[in-house]
Amino acid sequence: MTKSEELFKRACEVIPGGVNSPVRAFGSVGQTPRMIASAHGAYMTDEDGNRYLDFVGSWGPMILGHDYPAVREAVISACADGLSFGAATRREVEMAELICGSIPNIDMVRMVNSGTEAVMSAIRAARGFTGRDKIIKFMGCYHGHSDALLVQAGSGVMTAGIPDSAGVPQGCTKDTLSAVYNDLASVEQLFDAFPEEIAAVIVEPVGANMGVVPPAEGFLEGLRALCTKYGAVLIFDEVITGFRLGFSGAQGFFGVDADLVTYGKIIGAGMPVGAYGGKREIMECVAPRGPVYQAGTLSGNPVAMAAGLAQLTVLKEHPEIYDELNKKGQWFFGSIRQIARECGAPVQVNTCGSLGCIFFTAEPVHDYESAKTSDTKKYAEYFRYMLSHGIYLAPAQFEAMFLSAAHTREELAGVLELIRAYV
């Protein structure tokens, strides 16, 4: 028995499914999860000493690679001053000023501890601001595990094939309307049906939880126009795209203005951080300034702020990182598409910037239903092949591959050869 197998066996006795988040369970790929002991740069090493080129990057935070020196040093230095005070601190002000000073349409921002918290708080702020109850989300998009959003969600929910979670009372989801990603008509129909009742439309500006599904031409612009027309708040859930597509995230990348934006992952550089922010008139509804209550013991934690500030400062001061990262993504995922074409393999390769994924289906993937045509057994086989060759992919079809600044083109060229040999 390997150390990972032994540890996972113990884990299953004391942790549901042996993991603290379902997507880590390797359930859909028929393998024992590797117990990771350490990570540096683009590599992770498991408890048995096996080294993997990592394309998960902690599900997005590690855009500069693992154990980035400036981040590590900032965390160690912050720890020396104490871990948490439950009081206002300088670093929270610096983080808020950095975000509000650099991202369009973010006049104010509130720190929380996860993407889930960021999204549920943004939804509450939108409802408090508009006085309306209904929200529109998109099938296949995943916005964390708060009750109202576990409706035809992506990521681990989609992987597990549970359209809606048990334990969520109908009352929590009765105001959640589902539309079809990349289908503006499906959104218009909902606005026509509830012209004065929709508080917000929440969207992943690049779908990355049903595999990667980029927005069709005009889709985001259309959502912007509909929200403006009907007085609904447009929320970009940028937990994945924020500070990934560019420093201004999807708003800057696509040139579409949201009213509220949610963040996670990269903003914490691997520490537990989420945030939501946007127009002053909306954010000033949030307590203690306004009547929308939201709170958190460890929100704006000084060590987490130090990590996030260090990573965001590097990204802000070196915009060339994004140029290289997005070019690398275009080349890498474009090469996979080319290989598939040359080999006549029935796969689709979807990509946006440094995000990408392979679907094992012959039909183009542009939404939840077409993503579901992917052969998940084939994906599992592909995953096991790559893992056996030291490549650590998302252990589920309905996720993304995350490139980092630490992945070299030589390493990626080696991965392309493995894929060529596989398909």
Residue placing its CB nearer to ligand KE4 in the complex, 59 or 322 = 59
* 116 is an interface residue for ligand KE4 by CB under 6 A: yes
User: One-letter amino acid identity for 283?
Assistant: M
Told to check if 143 binds ligand KE4 by CB under 6 A, we report yes
CB of 115 to ligand KE4, least distance (A): 2
119 binds ligand KE4 (CB under 6 A): yes
Catalytic: 367?
no
Q: Does 59 bind ligand KE4 (CB under 6 A)?
A: yes
Parallel, antiparallel or unpaired: strands 401-402 and 198-203: unpaired
What is the C-alpha to C-alpha distance for residues 336 and 412, in angstroms, rounded to an integer?
A: 10
Instruction: Pick from 130, 155, 173, 248 the residue near ligand KE4 by CB under 6 A.
Output: 155
The active-site residue, picked from 237, 368, 382, 392, is 237
From the CB of 91, what's the least distance to ligand KE4, in Å?
20
Q: What is the DSSP code string of 378-416? A: HHHHHHHHHHHTTEE--SSSSS-EE--TT--HHHHHHHH
Residue 89 found at the interface with ligand KE4 (CB under 6 A): no
| Contact range with ligand KE4 by CB under 6 A, out of 78-86, 95-103, 110-118, 162-170 | 110-118
Radius of gyration over alpha carbons of the chain, in Å?
21
Per CB under 6 A, does 399 bind ligand KE4?
A: yes
The continuous run of DSSP H or E covering 249 comes out as: helix 249-254
| DSSP at 269 | B
Cβ closest to ligand KE4, residue 119 vs residue 227: 119
Does position 55 bind ligand KE4 by CB under 6 A?
A: no
Burial status of residue 55 (CB atoms within 10 A of its CB: 0-12, 13-18, 19 or more):
buried
Nearer to ligand KE4, 120 or 283 (CB): 120
Does 114 bind ligand KE4 (CB under 6 A)? Our answer is: yes
How many residues lie near ligand KE4 (CB under 6 A)? 20
C-alpha 376/C-alpha 398 separation (Å) is 9
Q: Tell me the torsion sign for CA atoms 93, 99, 104, 110.
A: negative
What DSSP designation does 267 have?
Answer: G
Distance CA 220, CA 201 (A): 11
Q: DSSP labels for 75-124?
A: HHHHHTT-S--SS--HHHHHHHHHHHHHSTT-SEEEEESSHHHHHHHHHH
Q: Which 11-30 positions form the footprint of ligand KE4 (CB under 6 A)?
A: 21, 23
340 binds ligand KE4 (CB under 6 A): no
Is residue 237 annotated as part of the catalytic site, yes or no? yes
Residues 243 and 288: beta-carbon distance below 8 Å = no
Task: Indicate the residue among 96 and 141 with the shorter CB distance to ligand KE4.
Answer: 141
Q: How many CB atoms lie within 10 A of CB 73?
A: 12
First-residue to last-residue Cα distance in the chain: 31
Q: Is 209 in the site for ligand KE4 (CB under 6 A)?
A: yes
Identified binder of ligand KE4 from the candidate list 240, 307, 309, 401, rule CB under 6 A: 240
Residue with the two structure tokens 């009352």: 171
Specify whether 142 is catalytic.
yes
| CB closest to ligand KE4, residue no | 115
The single residue among 109, 177, 226, 239 that binds ligand KE4, judged by CB under 6 A, is: 239
Stretch that binds ligand KE4, among 139-147, 162-170, 188-196, 280-288 (CB under 6 A): 139-147
* Binding of residue 54 to ligand KE4 (CB under 6 A): no
DSSP state string for 355-376 = EEEEE--SS---SHHHHTTS-H
Smallest separation, CB 123 to ligand KE4 (Å): 12
Catalytic residues: 142, 237, 265
